[in-house]
């Protein structure tokens, strides 16, 4: 994963050096000005780039397994800088006008590096899927403990960390579901849309639960709860329509 994120950063920097004006994207004023100038259209654009931030929830899904500090260190020192550089590199490539409707990510690599990049991205995808698997195992164990699911065999893979578990039936079910999804959607664009809808619905659910906690746990008043949760709910609803 260090090699993967390092490669993302290097590819982005190479294009940023060609079009350094893309660094203006780091200025919050540019984003605020765009939102105020375009308003309704800006929300639609926000939905189209929503998938750029949906990978963060997979990183934080492992909080219970590794603790807060390792996740904060990995995010602030490696993941966020590498992703920011790579996305700005894609933006610089778009400014050059050489995309022509093609995927800007793979255009960041030269001809000889394309196949190694595909292999590396596939390996990174397999590693990143562990966050989803770990999260499903954790949710399943909690559901069993609360009586929402029947008892299953739970194997603890670590003598000291209680959260590192393996549930064979759930693992087989996940494998079958992944194969079925690939056969159903067939293309990466179709899978991306399905993933966007799933993640956005998850965020909407989280916003709903957060509003419940605001009222019942922290005893916020109704206007404050609506004001805070309404902002997130509006963004997520627009994003849901766009990804769908």
> In the numeric block, which tokens belong to residue 70?
């390792």
Q: How far apart are CA 143 and CA 169, in angstroms?
A: 15
**Rounded CA separation 113/116 (Å):** 5
Q: What is the pTM of this model?
A: 0.72
Per-residue pLDDT of the chain (244 residues; tens, 9 = 90+): 889 999 999 999 999 999 999 999 899 898 888 888 887 777 667 766 766 666 666 666 555 566 778 878 888 899 889 999 999 999 998 888 777 667 788 888 877 888 888 899 888 888 878 877 888 888 899 999 999 999 999 998 888 777 788 999 999 999 999 899 889 888 777 777 777 777 788 888 989 999 999 999 999 999 999 999 998 888 788 777 655 5
Domain ranges of the chain: 1-108, 187-244
């Amino acid at each position: 994963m260090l090699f993967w994120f390092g490669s993302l950063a290097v590819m982005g920097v190479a294009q940023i050096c060609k079009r350094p004006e893309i660094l203006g994207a780091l200025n919050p004023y540019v984003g605020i000005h765009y939102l105020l100038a375009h308003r309704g259209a800006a929300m639609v654009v926000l939905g189209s780039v929503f998938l750029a931030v949906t990978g963060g929830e997979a990183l934080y899904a492992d909080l219970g397994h590794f603790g807060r500090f390792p996740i904060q260190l990995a995010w602030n020192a490696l993941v966020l800088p590498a992703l920011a550089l790579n996305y700005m590199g894609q933006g610089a490539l778009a400014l050059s006008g050489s995309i022509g409707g093609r995927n800007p990510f793979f255009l960041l690599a030269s001809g000889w590096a394309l196949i190694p990049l595909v292999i590396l991205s596939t390996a990174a995808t397999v590693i990143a899927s562990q966050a989803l698997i770990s999260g499903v195992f954790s949710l399943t164990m909690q559901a069993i403990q609360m009586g929402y699911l029947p008892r299953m065999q739970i194997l603890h893979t670590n003598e000291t960390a209680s959260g590192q578990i393996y549930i064979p039936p759930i693992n087989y079910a996940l494998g079958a579901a992944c194969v079925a999804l690939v056969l159903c959607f067939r293309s990466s664009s179709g899978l991306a849309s399905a993933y966007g809808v799933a993640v956005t619905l998850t965020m909407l659910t989280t916003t709903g639960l957060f509003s419940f906690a605001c009222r019942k746990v922290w005893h916020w008043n109704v206007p404050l709860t609506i004001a805070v949760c309404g902002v997130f709910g509006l963004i997520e609803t627009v994003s849901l329509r766009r990804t769908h």
